[in-house]
Amino acid sequence: EAGVTQSPTHLIKTRGQQATLRCSPISGHTSVYWYQQALGLGLQFLLWYDEGEERNRGNFPPRFSGRQFPNYSSELNVNALELEDSALYLCASSRSGRGSYEQYFGPGTRLTVT
């Protein structure tokens, strides 16, 4: 069974630009979560999508947004990039129902803003 995949692996942008990150969940999983991990820090919750709807968002500004497609894959968009947005962005997926709190992570996208 294929795991969670993310693309691109690395992304370099300049301040003010927009970044788009992509995630494909494990087959059969309907929920996708996005987390930001700044260098040397823990994971901060960004967004949760389930069945195509945004279910919850963390304490991040509106320029962090995303969507979930009918095939359950997801996109994270970051507008008006700032230097402090440089981080590893992790996507995780989970199934619904029993065991739905077990999240499985992809390898991440390293975003560097210069």
- Contact residues: other proteins, CB under 8 A: 4, 31, 33, 35, 41-45, 48, 50, 55-56, 58-59, 88, 90, 92, 94, 99-108, 110
In the bound state with other proteins, the residue whose beta carbon lies nearer, of 15 and 34, is 34
In the bound state with other proteins, the residue whose beta carbon lies nearer, of 17 and 96, is 96
Q: What is the DSSP string of 38-68?
A: -TTS--EEEEEEETTEEEEE-S--TTEEEEE
In the bound state with other proteins, the residue whose beta carbon lies nearer, of 13 and 110, is 110
Do you find a cis peptide bond into 107, omega within 30 degrees of 0?
no
